[in-house]
Amino acid sequence: MTVHSAVSGLSSLVEPERMLVGSSWIPSRSGKTFPAVDPGTGEVVAQIPEADADDVDAAVRAARQAFEEERWTGLSGQQRAVVLWRVSDLLEANAEELSRLESLDVGMPVSQARAMLGEAVNLFRYYAGWADKIHGRNVEIGPGERRFQGITLKEPVGVAGLIVSWNAPLIGVSMKLAPALAAGCACVVKPSEQASLTVLAMGRVLLEAGVPEGVVNVVTGHARVGAALAAHDDVDKVSFTGSTAVGKKIVQAAAGNLKKLSLELGGKSPVIVLPDADLDQVIPGVAMGIFWNTGQICTSGTRLFVHRDVFEEVVQGVAEYGRSLKVGYGTEPGVDLGPLVSQRQLDRVTGYVESGLRDGARLISGGSRIGEKGYFFEPTVLADVDQSMRVVREEIFGPVLGAMPFTDVAEAVAAANDTEYGLAGSIWTRDIASAHTIARKLRTGRIGINVHRAGGVQMPVGGYKQSGWGRENGLEGLEEYLETKSVITLLDR
């Protein structure tokens, strides 16, 4: 890969104060920038272009031109697959630099960033395998004396606007770009203003891999950039990951040209522990289901329902596990948890814990900021919470677990479903028949049995209710970027 000058040693993959439009790295048209802040120190590490609607329009025009000129769709599926596989190879070749950049941008430990990078590699390889296997079907239709041959074609939806969340940008952008490119779309990517660095670096990787000019564009900035992309009449599809509140605004903005949408939104995932469960599995599994990436994962298991017979043992065990985790700067050896992403997020998490305690929750562990530098917060367990509390009903996006006892499984399932969200969940028991019965009753898009955080690129993810529309990963993720066309021919009989 071509080596470029770094910003104060930041990364050779990031262009100083530039974003990608066409094949050019350019500043925003206004020349404005905003700071990228290291969550572990609170210090500014780079300046990011502050785009506006004119920048979005330029990026969409570049994507539209690339699509109409068939720079990407004009290639065969096999040719696109070769390029996507090359992307995965370049990600792997730059794994250490990208992992450190992700750690710097988001705060997560480098070890977790490496795992995220590995999943990004898997995503591009998986969808490279689909690129030459996109096809429709054929069928004969009509009465015996007047027969028709019907075929369906699968075609790329067109220009896709991809709005990426800040909590895991490498995976987030790969979950959208890999299937969109396999389908043949041209793309405009908008990373979160809180974590733009690795998405910008991904733009350079794509160019190096041979993705043609204009097929992928990256515009950076705050919410108005995403709003302009969602409302743009020349964007055919938007894929958004973020909060439910913003997702609803995306729906309204998309109404102008009725663009297609896929939305992965908020979560308040239930974890149900039956009395026969293996607690040696339950305690670490539940703990990492909520504390991993400092709780900043949409599918985190934030609501814990435990049978009363084992309630105190599980709750105390999870609290003790949380206390054993090493919280620190992402590059420190042996660190398990990094900081929250920003001062705003730190204030948000602190406010929810204080609200829970005011409402009568029992603090088992954590509950406070760690130190004065950076945005670190203790792994926190609250017991004696109930369904009326904000800390139970609203998405916190931090390392805060609310635990509730139950005696009747049907009541636990009803309580688990008593939420506006439906993204994920898990069930812990030795009785697999009971687990599958409960899984069918939970209104969520993903269920783990004796595991909470599991899956992979082959398994679709997405939500019920206000956790979103559509799916990412698997064949379902590819279908989100395809249109189906019917072609019917009268047969000569």
Task: Look up 420 and say whether it is catalytic.
Answer: no
Q: Is the pLDDT reported for residue 7 higher than 50? A: no
Residue 8 has pLDDT above 60, yes or no: no
Between CA 450 and CA 273 the distance in angstroms is 9
Whether 370 shows a pLDDT value over 70: the answer reads yes
Predicted local confidence at residue 2, as pLDDT: 31
Contact 405, 396 (CB under 8 A): no
Q: Are 202 and 175 in contact (CB under 8 A)?
A: no
- Catalytic residue (one of 15, 264, 378, 479): 264
Q: In this structure, which amino acid lies at residue 462?
A: G
Distance, CA of 308 to CA of 213 (rounded, Å): 60
The mean of the pLDDT values for the chain is: 95
CA distance 38 to 330: 10
By C-alpha distance, which of 346, 269, 339, 256 is closest to 300? 269
Fold of domain 269-456? Aldehyde Dehydrogenase; Chain A, domain 2 (3.40.309)
Alpha-carbon distance 240 to 394, whole Å?
20
Q: Do 391 and 361 form a contact (C-beta atoms < 8 A)?
A: yes
Task: Quote the longest CA-to-CA distance of the chain.
Answer: 82
Question: Can you tell me the mean pLDDT for 114-119?
Answer: 95
Q: Which fold has domain 19-265+468-485?
A: Aldehyde Dehydrogenase; Chain A, domain 1 (3.40.605)
Percent of the chain with pLDDT strictly greater than 90: 94
The strand pairing partners of 482, in sequence order, are: 156
pLDDT band at 16 (very low <50, low <70, confident <90, very high): confident
Domain boundary assignment for the chain: 19-265+468-485, 269-456
pLDDT digits (tens, 9 = 90+) for 412-421: 999 999 999 9
423/349 Cα distance (integer angstroms):
20
Q: CA torsion 185→196→395→461, rounded to 10°?
A: 30
- End-to-end Cα spacing for the chain: 59
Residues 241 and 441: beta-carbon distance below 8 Å: no
φ, ψ for residue 238, nearest 5 deg: -125, 130
- Strand-pair partners of 216: 187
Which positions ≥6 away from 230 have C-beta within 8 Å?
A: 161, 163, 238, 240, 249, 250, 253, 254, 259
Backbone dihedral region for residue 29 (phi beyond 0: left; psi -120 to 50: alpha; all else: beta) = alpha
User: Tens digits of per-residue pLDDT, 51-94?
Assistant: 999 999 999 999 999 999 999 999 999 999 999 999 999 999 99
The pLDDT confidence band at residue 351, using thresholds 50, 70 and 90, is: very high
Q: How many helices and strands in the chain, by DSSP H and E?
A: 15, 22
**pLDDT tier at 493, thresholds 50, 70, 90:** low
**Each residue of 174-211: pLDDT tens digit?**
999 999 999 999 999 999 999 999 999 999 999 999 99
Residue 165 gets the label, from left (phi > 0), alpha (psi -120 to 50) or beta, of beta
Q: Which residue has the tokens 């990208």?
A: 98
Candidates 214, 110, 131; CA nearest to 178 is 131
